[in-house]
Structures are given as structure tokens and as C-alpha cells.
Structure 1
Amino acid sequence: MEDSLSLSLKVISSLALMGVVCFFVHLYNTMWFKSERLRRKLWMQGIKGPSPSFIYGNLPEMQKIQQEAVRTPDNAQIVAHDYTSSLFPYFVQWRKEYGPIYTYSTGTRQHLYVNQPELVKEMNQCITLDLGKPSYITKRLAPMLGNGILRSNGLVWAQQRKIIAPEFFMDKVKVMVGLMVESIQSLIRKWEDGIEAQGGVMADIRVDEDLRGFTAEVIARACFGSSYFKGKEIFSKLRKLQTAISRDSFLFGVPGYGLLPTKKRNEITNLEKEIESLIWETVKEREKKCVEASSSEKDLLHLILEGALNDQSLGKDSSKRFIVDNCKNIYFAGHESTAVAASWCLMLLALHPEWQSRILTEVSQVCGDKLPDADSVSRMKIVTMVIQETLRLYPPAAFVSREALEEIQLGNVTIPKGVCLWTLIPTLHRDLEIWGSDANEFKPERFSDGISKACKLPQAYIPFGLGPRLCLGRNLAMVQLKIVLCHIISKFTFSLSPKYRHFPAYRMIVEPGNGVHILIKKI
């Protein structure tokens, strides 16, 4: 009996030991060996990088470099346009050490940093579906974007692009200009009332929140037509959701991410459900009207819904899911990014009043006594130059990010399956060898002969991305920005307020961390 019990205990002990050994073997394979194998494949091609630690990779070093770069808002009168060394100091430091191509790891993820223009061009123009958005990041953004076009990959992404892209062609965007003009007039009246309330001469206004209101109204009215008040409610909740997600670093694949505190996880889940519920209600309303409406009555949501319902590869439930997810994408990209870009435009113009004068002269020459419209804004060269230079210095999207879903070849580099590729857009936009010694200065005149003549390598200018993943809302964003600048500068002159503190912050996009305060006068 005792021998039998002793034998049983030995068997149990052996099994437990084997279990522990297997666990640690699995842990080693998952946390180290897999990344080490990918890293060696890159090292064998001459691509070097910082040495990683076990389990956490280069995360401890990144955190240390970031802590050393912690800063306070700059003096209001000193605006340094190169913010990469404070927002992304590890990328700047490693680029100096290892050049424009290097590898690093974050936990179980192996990354390839790419800022060589020719390779960036090839990466962005790559048409294979084997290169997609990094899954570990898009998973974290799922509450915000669903499985819409901004985070989907492969055939799902290709199908979505086929349906959505035509609705953002320039002929469709021009139809929305009337909505933009109406919406900007509301903003202008608000600022005029603000001037009157502050004595009738000048007002100190925080413009970034008002510009969010403008872009929210444009997208809401374009998507929802007469139901745009519901759209504005969705925008408000999306902003809260963006803030909640941005509280944690979602960019680098920190091990253990997802084990969020219950309160925070519940907040994100509840906001996601509320947003989807509001969109579902609107989709159902539109679905009922889809058959009866004439083409002139159809808003953006209506047209996309029609395209989804007519796609034979989508079932009924899938088409509704398609609409909900892509509404989220359109709201975020079309509303938040455009508002932030407009805020940076006004900040730079407040610093450079001579460009306000040049825009005002151009508006007067092109439009005369009329308000800028779809036809006139397309002929405004000075306004376009100012916007292009703003997007060079302050592109809302800081990164182009991809993941090799299968092993692929880019230039002379073989990218193993599972490696994530990163391009830091503001670094590419400030490269002295490409843009010249004045790369960190605001000089819209560099775009006087177009993008192709603005720098040595046009593929180094990618505020909207490049190739198949080019931002679908590019035309909409550019037209909105032109309408904003033309109408505001037609009515006001402005300068930076003493309240302004230059503090670019990365919250999924690069935005003014403390807002944009300007002193504004009526012309």
C-alpha cells in the first residue's frame, strides 16, 4: 500500500515537474526564441539595432530614454517645430546610432524601423495583401474602429475599399462644399459674438475645440443629412473613447496590455456599445429610405449603405456590421484628423501674419465679393501651399505602420513573417538631406511648384500615406481645410495668445496638447 502511494506521488511529482518544464519551454519559445529567430534573420542582412532584454525586449530602454526626455510646455513665444526628440526620443536616438533602418523589439514583437525614402516608397506602394496593419495594434483600437477600413487587412480590406473609395472622389466631395460653407458660417458667427462679448475689438479664443465642432458638423451632416444631431452625439462619445484608449501606451505591444483595470475596461466597453447603438439606429432609419430616395437626396451614409447592400459577397448582417464599423472610421479620420490639421494651420498662420495677408489677397482675387466655393478653392494656390507645409511639419498621423503577414521582399531586404514595420512621418518630413537646411522652418513657398519640386525625393512627403493605403478622405480633408482658411482669413486677423503653450502630444494622432489659443480681430 505504502509502495503504491509512494509510486503515485512520484508519478504526480514527475508530471508536475514536466508541466513546469513545458511551461518554461513554451514561455521561452514565446517570449524570446521567436523574436530571436526573426531578429537573427534581420541581423544576417546587415540590419542592426539595440540589444534586447529577456521578456521585455527594448521596452526598459525606451522607457528610460522617454523619461529623460520629459519636458514642460515651451514658452509661448518660442515654437520649436521639431517635436520628434520629445515625443519619440528612442527613435531619434537609435536612428543616430544605427541609421535609417534598424530593428528593435517590444516584448514578443520584433519591429523594423524604416526611414529610408526608397524603401518607404516601396513599402507604401506594395500591392500585396501580405503586408497589412499590425494586428496587435488594431486589436487594441477595435472599440474605436471596429473592423473598418482603417484596421482591416487582406480581402476584407480590399472589399471595403472597393465600396467606400468612390464616395470620396473629388466629384462627390464638391457636392459637400455647401455643407462646409454653412457650417463655417456658424463658427464665424460664434467668434464674432465672442469679440463683442470681450469688448468689441479683440477676443482670446481657444480655436481647436471650435474646429472640432466644425468638422464634426460637416461629417455628421454629410453622413446623416437631416439626422446630423445624432451624428454629433456619436462624435462626442468617440472623443471620450479616444481619450480612454489613449491613456495607456497602445503603440509598442507592452506585455500584459489588455489586462486593464476593470473600471477602465468597463468605460471603453460601455462607450463602444453606446456608439454602436446610436449608429445602428441611424442605419435602420436609412435602410428604410434607401429604396425611395432619389440620387440627389442621398447622403454619404445612404450611398455607402446602398453599396454594401448591393454587394453580393456581403450578407444582410455583414452589410450592417460593415456600415457600423466604417461609420466609426469615417467619423474618426474625417473629423478628428482634419480638426487637428486646421488647428495647426491657424497656429502657424498666427505666427506668420504675412501669410494671412497673402491668403486674403488671393481670396479677393479669385472670389471677388463672393464666398469661396468648390470651384474657387480649387484655384487657390497660396492656400494649398500653406496647408501642404502645415501637413509637412505637423502631420496628424505620426506613423506608417505595417505587419508582414507573410514573408515579403522590399527592395534588397527580406522581411520575415510577423515583423512590424514603422516609418516615423515627421522625421521623414524633416530630413535635412531631402528638404534642405530650412527643413524645420515654416516656408510654404517650397511648394510653389508642387510637391515634386518641394524636395529632392517626393516620396518623402506622405501626410496621407501613399499607394493602395492612401487615405481615402484626402480630398475631403484638403477641401475642408481650404474652406476653413479662406473663410476665417476673409473675416479675421489673428496672432498667438499669451495663453498658448506649444506642447505637441501624441494621442493616437499628434495634436496640440494644451489647445490653440489665438487673439482674433474682425477685419
Structure 2
Amino acid sequence: MEIEFNWGTLVVLCFSGILCFLLHYLYGFLWLKPERMREKLRKQGMRGPPPSLLLGNIIEMKRIQMEEKGLIGSSANVMVDYSVALFPYFKKWRNEFGPLFMYSTGSIQLLYVSDPDLIKEIGLYKPLDIGKPVYLTKERGALFGNGILTSNGEVWTHQRKVIAPEFYADKVKGMVDLILDAAVPLLKSWETIVESGGGIGLLTVGEDLRSFSADVISRASFGSNYLEGEEMFLKLRQLQNLMSKTNLFIGIPGLRYLPTKANREIWRLNREIRMLILKLVKERREGSQASSKKDLLQSILDGAKDNLVSTKDHDNFIVDNCKNIFFAGHETAATSASWCLMLLACHPKWQAQARAEVIEVCQGELPNADMLRKMKTLTMVIQESLRLYPPTAFVTREAFKDIKLGKLNIPKGITLVIPTSILHHEQEIWGPDADEFKPERFTNGISGACKFPHAYIPFGLGARTCLGQNLAMVELKIILSLILLKFSFSLSPSYVHAPAFRLTIEPEFGVPLSVNKV
């Protein structure tokens, strides 16, 4: 008896089998795996908003955000916690569920942690147990890749060994002169504007400070200046703005692969930035500085040769870490300087005190490393500015194994979200004047400023604290001291208070200042 072979039936059966397998995989990935984590937390009394199958809590987050849109822009109080308007769902959920609650974005299960004692415990864990969320290398791959900001394990350990020595205090001390050189074009341009205005000028600070900070990181780490790397910085800025717009949609599987207009633009910028960095590397290898120049770029080139086997691995190591340093090295310092100037403009008493100190310390000379250490008032102003306006909104960590926080057992795979700004405005930590600009709270340092010093985290937490914080503080002291020496300033009536999330928190429309020469 002959059996007729039906190819059509076979194709249908194969297709059905593949479809069933795919649906089963997606159901397990999108629901079963995160639901098992949620169930472990629920059994311990943990609560949170109920998630949907594909998007988690994204729809509710968008709805709450739209309802609260414009809250900060309409507020005259510049001390208000920016997270109230930028991330209003956290305030709502915190009021409903307390300082610990769980939520989801797509397939990513997160635990919001704002309890100071638990944050201290998180900071004590070893990087192999708790590290940067794995999804960052995928969802933010075009900007960060697997560089020092997002890598984990042996890769991160190797990168830290290569990069950290370039930002030690003694090394940064030797960068003072080049930071002063980078400040000259900014100060001259401001003087020209003020003089052309008859002794008073209207300046919108933001892009000028970003160019200055980019020039610093270029000179300090890559042996070039901003003009030589201008195209790269502009493309990184475009990439940063594009990626910040998709922040809520992190965790939706496959979204980053779709050929949407935004994704195509991200892919293009990523290719072009990569080419510019490799061009810089080629020039260094072929130039006269190839063997004699010892800076961060050279350290990265040397570090790429260790424990890596293929040319692709070499190139990725170099490109990813250069992008990380270019971005982190100038973006956070520039936005922090903008917020410092905004707060000093709003508080003329502190502006006058900081200026008097700088004049007394410098004695008519440009600041040097020893002078910077004596600027106690300016240091307190910067610390208080970083408290009220931390450049990064969150510290995030992923549990790479089952861990324990207090009495809570955290399952492997949970991402911990620590809200920086909320901690910095918490009255339980800082007292009833937590929303006020009071630099004097730092008179006795961070340990004397608040009840829980480990809750002050403008540069991150634990072993993954920002490697460049020494450079950032020196850079801020130099540019602010030079501005105070040359100019007095007040906030322009045209200023609109609108902090914006661009991966860092920056003034949406810059900071317009009315400036006079001192």
C-alpha cells in the first residue's frame, strides 16, 4: 500500500511546530521567568503594581507621566526634587507600597530600593555578586557597548585595572594646567559678550560648558582638543538624545532590532562614531606619539592586547571604552556645572561668599592644585549642588546570584533600582531642610552632613563608584572659581525650570544668566 507524501502538510506542521516553540519560549521569557521572581518576593510580603504580559508596567508608567506632565516647568521652586516630575510613577507607587516595591518594564523585573540600611548593604556586596544590569549592554549597546560603565566580571576587572590609574588623585593633580587651558576659550567668549553689551551680557550656559568639559577630557585622556574631536562629541550627543527617548521601553524583546526611524539613526551614528574612534586610534599608532605618549588612550590600546584574541575583540575593547570615557568624562561634569551656576545665581549670598574665598586663596593668580584644596566654601557649594541635582537619576544593580538584603531574599536576575534624587531629598536622612540649598551642611564633610552618609551617592555606590570623580571635582572647582573671579551673575527672568532626562539630568533649555564683569 502506497502512502502519498504531502509536502504542503509537512510545511504546515513544521511551521506550526516552530510557532508553538516560539510562543512557548516567549511566554516563558516574558511571563514565567519574571513571575517566578515576583512570586518569591510576594511570599516575603513584597508588593507592587500588577504587570501586563508583554509590557510589564510601561503603559501605567506612561499614563502617570502624562498626567503629571509640566509639573516642574510650572513650579517656581527650583529646589523641588526633579524626580517628582520626571518619574512621577515612583512617587505614586512609593506612597502606595512603601520604600520597597517591585515593578516591570517588559521582561525586566525590578525592585525599587530607597531604604538607607539596605542601600548600605548593596554597596558592600562584591562586584561578582551584584553588578551593572546585563540589559544595559544590549539596550544601550550603541552608546556604551561592553565598556567600563556597563561590563561585569573579569572584563570589568581588567578594564578597571587599565583605566582607574589614569584618574588617581596624583594623576589628576597634574591635569590642572590643561584644565585651565581648556577654560580660556570659554572665559574669553563670555568676556567678549559682556563687553559688547556695555558691561552686562545675557548668556545661556550649557553648550559652552559641555564644549569646555569635552575639551578637558580630550586633552587629559586622548592627547587632543575639542576642535579635533568635535564631530565625535556631536554624534555622541545625538546618540544620547535618541536613546533617552526610548528609556521607558527598555525590556521589550526585539524592539531594538526593528528598523524604526530612531533605530536606523542609532545604527548610523554608532557606525560613524566607531569609525571616528578607530581613525583616532590609527593616527595614534602611526604618529610620533605612538610609543612616547602615556595617557588614557595609550593605556586602553595597551590594555586591548591583554586577554583578547581577535582583532574584533581589540577594536571593541578600544571603541567601547573610548565611548564610555568620552560620554561620562564630559557629560556629567558639564551638567553639574550648569546646576551649580543656577543655584549660585539664585543665592547671591553664597555666590559672594564663594567669590570672596576664591579671591583670598588665589591672590590674583590662577588656581593651582594647592589652592583648590583650600577652597572649602566652593567645595561645599559643589557638594550641595550634587545633592540637589545629582547628574544620574538612579543607581542600578543586578543580582547575579541569590542574595540577602536585610531579611529579604532577592532572587538571581532581579534589577535593583536606587533613586538618587529621592534619597538626596529625604527628610529622614537630611533633616526638615532637605529641600533647601544649604551648603553649610557639608562643613564637616559628608559624614557630618546627614544621618546616613552612604545615602549620598552622586558618583554611584560601592565598588562601582565613578572612577572619574576626582577629575570631576577638580574640573568643577577650576571652572567655577574662574567664573567667580571674573563675573557676577543672576538668573535671567527668561529661565524656565525644566530638568530633562537625557540619560543624565540636564536643564532642558539651558541656564540663561545675566552676567556682569567683576
Q: Which TM-score band applies after superposition, normalised by the shorter structure?
A: over 0.9
Moved more, 186-195 or 18-27: 18-27
Aligned residue among 301, 309, 315 for 1:305: 301
Per-residue deviation, residues 417-458 of structure 1 (Å, max 9, x unmatched): 221110110011111111111111111111011000100000
Cα 1:475/1:20, change in 2 over 3 Å: closer
* TM-score w.r.t. length of structure 2: 0.93
Partner of 1:163, secondary structure, is helix
Kept in 2, the 8 Å contact 1:137–1:251? The answer is no
Aligned residue among 382, 389, 400 for 2:384: 389
Partner of 2:458, secondary structure, is coil
C-alpha distance in structure 2 between counterparts of 1:77 and 1:128, whole Å: 42
Per-residue deviation, residues 333-369 of structure 1 (Å, max 9, x unmatched): 0111100000000000000011111111111221111
Q: Which amino acid aligns with 1:501?
A: V
Aligned residue among 344, 352, 359 for 1:357: 352
Kept in 1, the 8 Å contact 2:105–2:249? The answer is no
C-alpha distance in structure 2 between counterparts of 1:388 and 1:66, whole Å: 30
Which residue of 2 is the match for residue 475 of structure 1?
470
Moved more, 47-56 or 413-422: 47-56
The CA deviation at 1:62 is 1.5
Kept in 2, the 8 Å contact 1:76–1:498? The answer is no
C-alpha distance in structure 2 between counterparts of 1:314 and 1:170, whole Å: 33
Cα 1:69/1:252, change in 2 over 3 Å: farther
Per-residue deviation, residues 141-181 of structure 1 (Å, max 9, x unmatched): 11112211001111101110011101100111111111111
Q: Which amino acid aligns with 1:498?
A: P
Partner of 1:164, secondary structure, is helix
* TM-score w.r.t. length of structure 1: 0.92
Which residue of 2 is the match for residue 410 of structure 1?
405
The CA deviation at 1:9 is 8.9
Cα 1:308/1:379, change in 2 over 3 Å: farther
Q: Which amino acid aligns with 2:261?
A: K
C-alpha distance in structure 2 between counterparts of 1:425 and 1:92, whole Å: 13
Per-residue deviation, residues 121-146 of structure 1 (Å, max 9, x unmatched): 22123114132222223312111122
Kept in 2, the 8 Å contact 1:183–1:217? The answer is yes
Partner of 1:85, secondary structure, is helix
Whether 1:239 and 2:237 are equivalent positions in the alignment is yes
Which residue of 2 is the match for residue 335 of structure 1?
330
Which residue of 2 is the match for residue 274 of structure 1?
272
Cα 1:184/1:314, change in 2 over 3 Å: farther
Cα 1:456/1:255, change in 2 over 3 Å: same
Per-residue deviation, residues 52-108 of structure 1 (Å, max 9, x unmatched): 233332222212211111116635854242121211111111111111111112222
Aligned residue among 431, 434, 438 for 2:433: 438
The CA deviation at 1:485 is 0.9
What residue ranges of structure 2 are gaps of 5+ in the alignment? none
Which residue of 2 is the match for residue 428 of structure 1?
423
Aligned residue among 206, 213, 216 for 1:215: 213
Q: Which amino acid aligns with 1:38?
A: M
Which residue of 2 is the match for residue 283 of structure 1?
281
Which residue of 2 is the match for residue 493 of structure 1?
488
Percent of residue pairs bearing the same amino acid type: 51
Partner of 2:109, secondary structure, is strand
Kept in 1, the 8 Å contact 2:404–2:410? The answer is yes
Moved more, 137-146 or 76-85: 76-85
C-alpha distance in structure 2 between counterparts of 1:236 and 1:12, whole Å: 51
Cα 1:406/1:196, change in 2 over 3 Å: same
Moved more, 315-324 or 125-134: 315-324
Partner of 1:520, secondary structure, is strand
Cα 1:263/1:454, change in 2 over 3 Å: same
The CA deviation at 1:232 is 2.6
The CA deviation at 1:206 is 0.7
Kept in 1, the 8 Å contact 2:54–2:252? The answer is no
C-alpha distance in structure 2 between counterparts of 1:160 and 1:454, whole Å: 33
Cα 1:423/1:292, change in 2 over 3 Å: closer
Cα 1:175/1:17, change in 2 over 3 Å: closer
Cα 1:352/1:24, change in 2 over 3 Å: same
C-alpha distance in structure 2 between counterparts of 1:155 and 1:90, whole Å: 36
Kept in 2, the 8 Å contact 1:194–1:203? The answer is yes
Whether 1:451 and 2:446 are equivalent positions in the alignment is yes
Q: Which amino acid aligns with 2:87?
A: F
Moved more, 284-293 or 4-13: 4-13
Q: RMSD across aligned C-alpha pairs, in angstroms?
A: 2.5
Per-residue deviation, residues 402-428 of structure 1 (Å, max 9, x unmatched): 112232233332221221110110011
Kept in 1, the 8 Å contact 2:162–2:299? The answer is no
What residue ranges of structure 1 are gaps of 5+ in the alignment? none
How many aligned positions are there? Answer: 518
The CA deviation at 1:211 is 0.3
Whether 1:509 and 2:504 are equivalent positions in the alignment is yes
Which residue of 1 is the match for residue 65 of structure 2?
66
Counterparts of 1:66-465 in structure 2 under 5 Å?
A: 66-71=65-70, 74=73, 78-198=77-197, 200-226=198-224, 229-249=227-247, 252-288=250-286, 293-294=291-292, 298-309=294-305, 311=306, 318-465=313-460
Partner of 1:149, secondary structure, is coil
Kept in 2, the 8 Å contact 1:101–1:114? The answer is yes
Cα 1:27/1:221, change in 2 over 3 Å: closer
Kept in 2, the 8 Å contact 1:396–1:511? The answer is yes
The CA deviation at 1:246 is 2.0
Partner of 2:401, secondary structure, is coil
Partner of 2:223, secondary structure, is helix
